């Protein structure tokens, strides 16, 4: 049975286990995950392929009497997130690659001020205006800085509609727990694809008290949030304190999916959409008797280096599959640390790697 739940963007489907899932675009699943997490405010600006997000939020947030603003630019939208999150509220902004470049200013400030904003990048092809096809070319920007200064962004890479929902739901808790900005690094394909999503999370309403938020200095000393630390040594100490926090995040927040890796002789490392294509190829390889497997980072930072390292045994060959000319592969090489060969398969500019190409690569490496 198909029924209209909320305008044209939702459709319900009955699936085998009788759980009611909704058939939605990844971008819509993402919105619902954020809303279930208790989103107070969404600030956006139109850009393809994430236009469903501001469109959907402009209706849902206003209906819920929450805040929606179509900002004058991505600069403004990200700084609105900074303002809202400085008061302990849950706020999000989304964009696609060119707009994410503009958000780097606020991201760096949020990292320095320890303001837990959530930023979504539904990646498209670049550099420059590029094109509007799905891409994974913003990996470096997301995990290696992007903005200025010594900082780290917690980066999640959803691979399907359900994960768009689940990871958006978790992003706010993680951001506030560590007082650190969090990015969901998606791609135009997962964002646009319609898939059944189980909207199974309970609406969050209560959050723990936080002793750093700006909510008026009633009955306490005034607080100020800043990243400008001019006195001798103070900024360095702040950097070292941040480093401690980043190390804690690295210890506790790494997430990865392992698929058929235990006996694998060829291991693919891929995230998001390219991990799904890789999985198909792995199934085909297994049918041909080739032991292939997948390590799928769900967190791109912190990167699952230890997990990858634990499979870097003699005789194993690695390669990464990316919709770019090879970015994450550098981190795979660092994790493997010379113990096994690490190869790469990718396409740029919105080109899609086919499962056939992945299978060919698996076969080529298996023969070596």
Partner 1 sequence: MEKILSRPKALKDFPLSYCPGCGHGIVHRLVAQAIDDLGIRERTIAVAPVGCAVFAYNYFNFDTTEAPHGRPPAVATGIKRTNPDKIVFTYQGDGDLAAIGTAETIHCANRGENITVIFINNANYGMTGGQMAPTTLLGQVTETTPFGRDPQREGYPINVCELLAGLKGTKYIERVSVCDAPHVIQAGKAIKKLFKIKLKEKVILSLK
Piece in contact with partner 1 (CB under 8 A), picked from 9-17, 85-93, 138-146, 160-168: 85-93
Mask for 104-143, x = binds partner 1 (CB under 8 A)? -xx--x---x------------------------------
| CB-nearer residue toward partner 1: 229 or 256 | 229
Residue 327 burial (C-beta neighbours within 10 Å; 0-12, 13-18, 19+)? buried
Is residue 43 a contact residue for partner 1 (CB under 8 A)? yes
What does the DSSP assignment read for 321-351? EESSSSSHHHHHHHHHTTSS-EEEEE--TT-
Which residue, 201, 312, 328, 229, is CA-closest to 275? 328
Shortest distance in whole angstroms from residue 233 CB to partner 1: 18
Query: How many whole angstroms separate alpha carbon 26 and alpha carbon 9?
Result: 11
Report yes or no: 10 and 20 within 8 Å, Cβ to Cβ: no
| CB-nearer residue toward partner 1: 112 or 302 | 112
Shortest distance in whole angstroms from residue 203 CB to partner 1: 18
Joined tokens for residue 54: 């501001």
Shortest distance in whole angstroms from residue 227 CB to partner 1: 6
Binding residues for partner 1 restricted to 203-232, rule: CB under 8 A: 214-219, 222-228
| CB-nearer residue toward partner 1: 111 or 345 | 111
Shortest distance in whole angstroms from residue 43 CB to partner 1: 7
Shortest distance in whole angstroms from residue 193 CB to partner 1: 31
Please provide the distance, in angstroms rounded to a whole number, between the alpha carbons at the two ends of the chain: 51
| CB-nearer residue toward partner 1: 5 or 76 | 76
Piece in contact with partner 1 (CB under 8 A), picked from 71-79, 238-246, 307-315, 354-362: 71-79
Is residue 71 a contact residue for partner 1 (CB under 8 A)? yes
Query: How many whole angstroms separate alpha carbon 318 and alpha carbon 329?
Result: 10
- Count of residues engaged in binding partner 1, rule: CB under 8 A: 39
Binding residues for partner 1 restricted to 243-282, rule: CB under 8 A: none
Kind of pairing, strands 20-25 and 194-197?
antiparallel
| Out of 31, 85, 142, 358, the residue judged to bind partner 1 by CB under 8 A | 85
Alpha carbon 338 to its chain's center: 28
Task: Give Cβ neighbours of residue 93 (< 8 Å, ≥ 6 apart).
Answer: 42, 43, 44, 74, 77, 78, 80, 81, 103, 117, 118, 119, 120
Is residue 289 a contact residue for partner 1 (CB under 8 A)? no
| Out of 81, 159, 189, 345, the residue judged to bind partner 1 by CB under 8 A | 81
| CB-nearer residue toward partner 1: 21 or 60 | 60
Instruction: Provide the H-helix boundaries in 37-137.
Output: 52-63, 74-86, 97-113
| CB-nearer residue toward partner 1: 78 or 157 | 78
Shortest distance in whole angstroms from residue 50 CB to partner 1: 20
Q: Would you say how long the chain is, in residues?
A: 368
Phi and psi, residue 80, nearest 5° = -65, -40
**Three-state SS at 150:** coil
Residues that bind partner 1 (CB under 8 A): 40-41, 43, 67, 69, 71-73, 75-77, 79-87, 89, 91, 105-106, 109, 113, 214-219, 222-228
């Amino acid at each position: 049975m198909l029924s209209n739940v909320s305008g044209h963007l939702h459709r319900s489907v009955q699936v085998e286990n009788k759980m009611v899932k909704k058939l939605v675009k990844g971008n819509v699943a993402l919105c619902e995950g954020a809303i279930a997490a208790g989103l107070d405010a969404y600030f956006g600006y139109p850009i393809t392929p994430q236009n469903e997000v501001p469109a959907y939020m402009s209706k849902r947030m206003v209906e819920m009497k929450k805040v929606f603003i179509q900002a004058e630019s991505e600069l403004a939208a990200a700084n609105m997130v900074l303002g809202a999150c400085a008061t302990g509220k849950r706020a999000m902004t989304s964009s696609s690659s060119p707009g994410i470049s503009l958000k780097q200013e606020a991201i760096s400030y949020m990292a320095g001020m320890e303001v837990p904003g959530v930023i979504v990048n539904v990646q498209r092809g670049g550099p420059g205006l590029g094109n509007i096809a799905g891409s994974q070319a913003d990996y470096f920007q997301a995990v290696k800085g992007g903005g200025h200064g010594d900082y780290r962004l917690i980066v999640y890479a959803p691979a399907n509609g359900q994960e768009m929902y689940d990871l958006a739901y978790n992003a706010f808790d993680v951001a506030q727990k560590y007082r650190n900005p969090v990015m969901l690094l998606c791609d135009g394909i997962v964002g646009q694809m319609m898939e059944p999503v189980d909207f199974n999370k309970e609406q969050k309403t209560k959050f723990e008290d936080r002793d750093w938020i700006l909510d008026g200095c009633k009955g306490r000393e005034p607080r100020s949030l800043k990243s400008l630390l001019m006195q001798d040594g103070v900024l360095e100490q702040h950097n070292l304190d941040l480093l401690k926090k980043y190390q804690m995040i690295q210890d506790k927040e790494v997430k990865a999916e392992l698929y058929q890796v235990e006996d694998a002789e060829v291991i693919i490392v891929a995230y998001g959409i390219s991990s799904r294509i890789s999985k198909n190829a792995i199934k085909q390889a297994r049918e041909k008797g080739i032991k292939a497997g997948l390590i799928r980072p769900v967190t791109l930072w912190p990167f699952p280096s230890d997990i990858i390292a634990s499979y870097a045994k003699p005789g194993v060959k690695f390669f990464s599959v990316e919709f770019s000319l090879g970015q994450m592969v550098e981190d795979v090489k660092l994790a493997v640390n010379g113990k096994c060969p690490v190869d790469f398969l990718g396409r740029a500019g919105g080109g899609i790697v086919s499962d056939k190409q992945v299978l060919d690569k698996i076969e080529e490496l298996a023969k070596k």
